[in-house]
A = this chain, B = another copy of it.
Amino acid sequence: MARENLTIRLAERPTDEIVPGTTFTAKREAAPSPDDLKDGEILVEVLYLSLDPSLRGQLNDRRSYVPPVQIGAVMNGASASRVLASKSKLVQPGEYVYAATGWQQYKILKAGTFEPASAYPGLQQPQDMLSAMGLTGVTAWYGVTQIGEPKAGETFVVSGAAGATGSVAGQIAKLKGARVVGIAGSDEKCKWLVDDLGFDAAVNYKAPDWRQKLKEATPNFIDVYYDNVGGEILDAALARAKEHARFVICGVISQYNSSSPAGIKNIHQVVTMRIKMQGFIIFDAQAQYAQARKELGTWLAEGKIKKNETIIKGGLEKAEQGLVDLFRGVNQGKLLVEVKNPSETPSKL
């Protein structure tokens, strides 16, 4: 019998939060075989799976930049994978690739649907393709350098500051000479941002006096606000905006799980303070991936930015709970599921 491929599929669209055991269902099926490969294709095994806030939106059946996951289909997700067999000239067995494999152990990838690790100059570990040099790192690079453009001496505030994107965004802004203030969900995270990542200040939004603390941390108001969370934190940032502030709207994690989102009350500040608010999706900026990775790789190598990962062990079965926990803020830095440790022997299919 062929080796089994564990897949996690969408069973039911959640209205609000993901319901473990109900939203997804596990299905074991025959793994693809090297004999099935056509020219240009490769067969991979997933090592690390990326858990991202944007995955929640793909569970909703509505107009968006990525088509919704269909009921019964394998859940979407990006991974760092190892090549088991190759009919591609680009990679050999044993090499690593980045691809949108989805939540499964094995997959045949067509030509043009994967990226060899060689596209990531300075890569140290396969999971770097998902974290600091991955899409979340590139997202931070793009939002800070191409939209927010903090200048030396300006005040840069980032929400979701301890997350995969926020932690990199704050470090890049610091490199650009800005005063950097992070907003995160625990005193421990705040301490980490200041002591380990070099932020100038950090505010725990779960503390009762967080609005006052944000005010104290931004005595010259906010020039650039990098938002990953939306909701009342965005509202508070609007209230602290300086004239001509740039608001980089990268995500609204506080609202993804809600069918009745919180209202933003300070939108009048967009006029009063002449704010430029710009939403973006990193897929629109593919032409700049190479530049972003090069700069990120250099900064990482020089120790100017630190990569940070929270890795969930235990295989693909942990992905569902991991995605739930992502919205509860369990992670510092990038949240990954270890589907298979790279040090283990490659599977034989």
B-binding residues in A (CB < 8 A): 57, 63-65, 230, 234, 243, 249-252, 255-256, 260-281, 284
B263 and A265 within 8 A (CB):
yes
Collect the chain B residues with CB atoms within 8 Å of residue A267's CB. 230, 234, 249, 252, 255, 261, 264
A199–B131 Cα gap in the complex (Å)? Answer: 50
List chain B residues, Cβ under 8 A from A271.
249-252, 279-281
Contact at B274–A277, with CB atoms within 8 Å?
no
* Bound Cα distance from A252 to B268, whole angstroms: 6
Q: Are A276 and B274 in contact (CB under 8 A)?
A: no
Give the distance to chain B from A64, nearest Cβ to Cβ, in Å: 5
Q: In the complex, what distance in Å separates the CA atom of A255 from the CA atom of B238?
A: 16
Q: What are the nearest 3 A-B pairs in CB distance?
A: A263-B263, A270-B279, A277-B277
Name the residue of chain B whose CB is nearest to the CB of A269.
B279
Q: Could you tell me the distance between the alpha carbons of A278 and B273 in the complex, rounded to whole angstroms?
A: 10
> CA separation between A272 and B271, bound complex, in Å?
22
Once bound together, how far apart are the Cα atoms of A84 and B81, in whole Å? 83
A250–B270 CA distance with the chains assembled, in angstroms: 9
Q: Are B270 and A265 in contact (CB under 8 A)?
A: no
Which residues of B are found within 8 Å of A270, using beta-carbon distances? 249, 277-279
Interface contact A280-B274, CB-CB below 8 Å: yes
CA distance A162 to B275 in the complex (A): 25
Q: Are B280 and A278 in contact (CB-based, < 8 A)?
A: no
Nearest residue in B to A245 (C-beta to C-beta)? B279
Q: Closest B residue to A232 by CB, please name it.
A: B263
Q: Closest B residue to A231 by CB, please name it.
A: B267
Best-surrounded residue of A230, A250, A275, A277 (most CB of chain B within 10 A)? A277
Closest Cβ of chain B to A203, distance in Å, is: 21
CA distance A256 to B268 in the complex (A): 8
A194 to chain B minimum Cβ distance, whole angstroms, is 28
Nearest CB of B to A276, in Å: 5
Residues of B within 8 A of A269 (CB): 279
CA distance A25 to B259 in the complex (A): 48
Known pairs A261-B266, A269-B279, A274-B281; list 20 more (Cβ under 8 Å). A64-B272, A251-B271, A252-B267, A252-B271, A256-B268, A260-B265, A261-B267, A261-B268, A262-B263, A264-B264, A270-B277, A270-B279, A271-B280, A272-B281, A273-B279, A274-B280, A275-B279, A276-B276, A276-B278, A277-B277
- Would you give the shortest CB distance from A280 to chain B, in whole angstroms? 5
User: How far is it, in angstroms, between the C-alpha of A277 and the C-alpha of B278 when the chains are bound?
Assistant: 6
Q: What CA separation (Å) do A80 and B247 show in the bound complex?
A: 38
